[in-house]
Structure 1
Amino acid sequence: MNDPLRIGLIGLDTSHVIAFTELLNDPDHAHHVPGARIVAGFPGGSPDFHLSASRLEGYTNDLRDRFAVQIMDSPAAVADAVDLVFIESCDGRVHLDLFKQTVASGKPTFIDKPLAVTTNDAREIMRLANDAKVAVMSASSLRYYQDLLEARATFDRDNPIVGCDAFGPMSIEPTQPGLFWYGIHTVDIVMSVFGTGCAHVRTMKNDDFDVVTAVWDDGRVATIRGTRTGNGQFGVTLHGKSSSCYVDLTAVSRPGYATMLESILSALPAGKSDVPQDQMIQVVQLIEAANKSRVHSGRIEQLE
């Protein structure tokens, strides 16, 4: 039997580090994902981001004390000690800098959402990765929810998906521009369904809602509705030429984290990504354009 792959976490300020470690390291977990273990971590953290600074110590202690994860003093030290790197910092502003510190190790890397909070940073991450021949993957776990995958499979050439309406909570955090904090989830759902080719977007907003209309260059249209009223549900309606299908992404039988980890472990060790590079970049482009529209009274913004 092959030894499990060793994974190192960089940025221990998000609940994802606990969720991933429970799924990978606990063989008795109901949704255990075999084949890898979290063995090392670098805390990181962003002092100016409350949700980072306030959670960092607790998650770091939990990983060390409950799971015997070795806490190291630099991202580079973690990368050198493992087979796969997971950049987990909840602050998308620091992902490029963290990747710069680990890319020389040559280790395949998962960068948790968002890949970056500017298109320039996203492109630079991919440039560095390509130059170093390092596989990089980034995604929201919602694109891996089993019910969504099964619903997409019901459409075919005779009834292709031509529309997509996604919704979910969309809280705003001052340090994470506009929709990057929680809008990333619904945007990634849409991108997983439509793929690249988004031409322009328009965002209408008030205190409680954001509604983004995104038009693809082949005429397909998606809407992304975010709420700040306390409604925590996620969902999406897929529209085909002859039928539509609603998918509830809140009541699921298997966590999307588990399916995403399986995809990561099947792709990255082989030097591949389950999500195409241009799609990862366009998620960032779409949000950046939507952010411009929301601060310019719903002006139509072309993707750059």
Structure 2
Amino acid sequence: MKNSRRSFIKKSSKLATAAGLSTLPFSLFANSAADSIRIGIIGLDTSHSPAFAKLFNAENPKPELAGFKVTAAYPYGSRDIKSSADRIPDYIKQVQELGVEITDSIEALLEKVDVVLLETNDGKPRLAQARKVIQAKKPFFIDKPVASSFADIQLIYQEAESNQVPIFSASSLRYMSNAQAVRHEGKIGKVLGCDAFSPAKIEAGHPDLFWYGIHGVEILFTVMGPGCESVSRTHTADTDVVTGKWKDGRIGTFRGTRTGKHEYGGTAFGSEGNLVLGNYEGYEPLAEKIAEFFKSGVSPVDPAETLEIYAFMEAADESKRRGGVAVAVGLEK
């Protein structure tokens, strides 16, 4: 089963080219308010939803975000996570003030939009919601966590691929300037290792790191790239330390904290020096990548890398259950 999982992760790298321009349900040359690419939001239970709506619906948006408009939203969203559900009334009000129509179903929303931001904070309904978007053939960005289990995440990506529906997922932390400079500009030469950190609050019904640790794990993978073969995890009541060994022998670590001041960042180690990765830079860099994705139909992050990130976090859970022993990434329970 381990090999079948790995083969699917590798196969999924083809998704970026399999679902291309021919699948897009709109013109790439929209240049007025009347023919803007219409964005629909599923889930008004996270701060990401009004944040993206404000960026895309700004009176004078950045050039990278021009030609888009959030036109409709379906609020739900978490119903059984109180901290998320309690946000919905205020976020409905915020997006309505931006001219966004509130729909009473996902199906009604899908009839009114060209592309989708699947923002529901709770990973448990994500598979069912994603299937509706895929059935409607709408390209979609699916926010963290992609789903509440690795099995569901695989199904979402498999079904998007088989239906040639473009899909993209990433944490906004991937687009920290220094992390991008290390990965794509050779800022420190050959990457030798990375120590990343973020909050790692836990939510019932999700593997531990899926809920919030995803941010720091994505920083780690942005710097290191894919290719992690095994994971070990140690933990206390307050902190998790996850150590990954890459196929080429490099070591990367993620430290997640559940108490105290919550910050994001890390240090990258390279053949030409080390670099502190800096601080969170907001949603705008991710929104620009989402806009680029909606225009091209090609995910800026290889789907295989996204799948490996979640396999890494699932392996970290398995290591915890086994008392900290090393667990192969992608190992079937």
Return the alpha-carbon distance in structure 2 between the equivalents of residues 214 and 93 of structure 1: 27
**Which residue is 2:292 aligned to?**
266
SS at match of 2:202: coil
Q: Deviations over 1:117-171 (max 9, x none)?
A: 3221111111111121100000000101223323445527x93102011011111
Question: In the TM superposition, what is the alpha-carbon distance from 1:29 to its structure 2 partner?
Answer: 6.8
SS at match of 2:255: strand
Percent identity, aligned pairs only?
A: 37
With over 3 angstroms needed to count, the CA separation of the structure-2 counterparts of 1:225 and 1:46, relative to structure 1, is same
Whether 2:262 is the aligned partner of 1:232: answer: yes
**Which residue is 2:139 aligned to?**
108
Return the alpha-carbon distance in structure 2 between the equivalents of residues 227 and 38 of structure 1: 34
Return the alpha-carbon distance in structure 2 between the equivalents of residues 138 and 114 of structure 1: 9
Whether 2:238 is the aligned partner of 1:208: answer: yes
**Which residue is 2:25 aligned to?**
none
Amino acid paired to 1:226: G
Return the alpha-carbon distance in structure 1 between the equivalents of residues 81 and 197 of structure 2: 26
Question: In the TM superposition, what is the alpha-carbon distance from 1:32 to its structure 2 partner?
Answer: 8.5
Return the alpha-carbon distance in structure 1 between the equivalents of residues 50 and 173 of structure 2: 18
Aligned length: 298
Return the alpha-carbon distance in structure 2 between the equivalents of residues 34 and 108 of structure 1: 18
Amino acid paired to 2:292: S
* Match 1:137 to one of 168, 171, 174: 168
Amino acid paired to 1:298: G
SS at match of 2:87: helix
Determine if contact 2:183/2:222 at 8 Å carries over to the other structure.
no
Question: In the TM superposition, what is the alpha-carbon distance from 1:296 to its structure 2 partner?
Answer: 2.7
Whether 2:125 is the aligned partner of 1:87: answer: no
Determine if contact 1:116/1:284 at 8 Å carries over to the other structure.
no
**Which residue is 2:11 aligned to?**
none
**Which residue is 1:25 aligned to?**
57
TM-score (norm 1): 0.92
* Match 1:194 to one of 224, 247, 250: 224
Amino acid paired to 1:165: D
Amino acid paired to 2:126: H
SS at match of 1:284: helix
Whether 2:62 is the aligned partner of 1:36: answer: no
Question: In the TM superposition, what is the alpha-carbon distance from 1:30 to its structure 2 partner?
Answer: 8.4
**Which residue is 2:159 aligned to?**
128
Return the alpha-carbon distance in structure 1 between the equivalents of residues 241 and 66 of structure 2: 39
**Which residue is 1:298 aligned to?**
324
Q: Deviations over 1:272-298 (max 9, x none)?
A: 111111111111111111112123321
Return the alpha-carbon distance in structure 2 between the equivalents of residues 198 and 46 of structure 1: 32
Return the alpha-carbon distance in structure 2 between the equivalents of residues 192 and 100 of structure 1: 28
TM-score (norm 2): 0.84
Amino acid paired to 1:241: S
* Match 2:189 to one of 147, 159, 165: 159
Question: In the TM superposition, what is the alpha-carbon distance from 1:4 to its structure 2 partner?
Answer: 2.2
With over 3 angstroms needed to count, the CA separation of the structure-2 counterparts of 1:55 and 1:31, relative to structure 1, is farther
Whether 2:97 is the aligned partner of 1:56: answer: no
Determine if contact 1:155/1:240 at 8 Å carries over to the other structure.
no
Question: In the TM superposition, what is the alpha-carbon distance from 1:33 to its structure 2 partner?
Answer: 3.2
Q: Deviations over 1:215-248 (max 9, x none)?
A: 1111121100011232221111111124211121
Whether 2:332 is the aligned partner of 1:275: answer: no
Amino acid paired to 1:244: N
With over 3 angstroms needed to count, the CA separation of the structure-2 counterparts of 1:150 and 1:241, relative to structure 1, is closer
Return the alpha-carbon distance in structure 2 between the equivalents of residues 217 and 122 of structure 1: 24
Question: In the TM superposition, what is the alpha-carbon distance from 1:77 to its structure 2 partner?
Answer: 1.9
Return the alpha-carbon distance in structure 2 between the equivalents of residues 293 and 143 of structure 1: 25
Return the alpha-carbon distance in structure 1 between the equivalents of residues 249 and 328 of structure 2: 14
SS at match of 1:22: helix
**Which residue is 2:149 aligned to?**
118
Structure 1 unaligned residues grouped into runs of 5+: none
SS at match of 1:207: coil
Return the alpha-carbon distance in structure 2 between the equivalents of residues 32 and 267 of structure 1: 11
Return the alpha-carbon distance in structure 2 between the equivalents of residues 92 and 165 of structure 1: 27
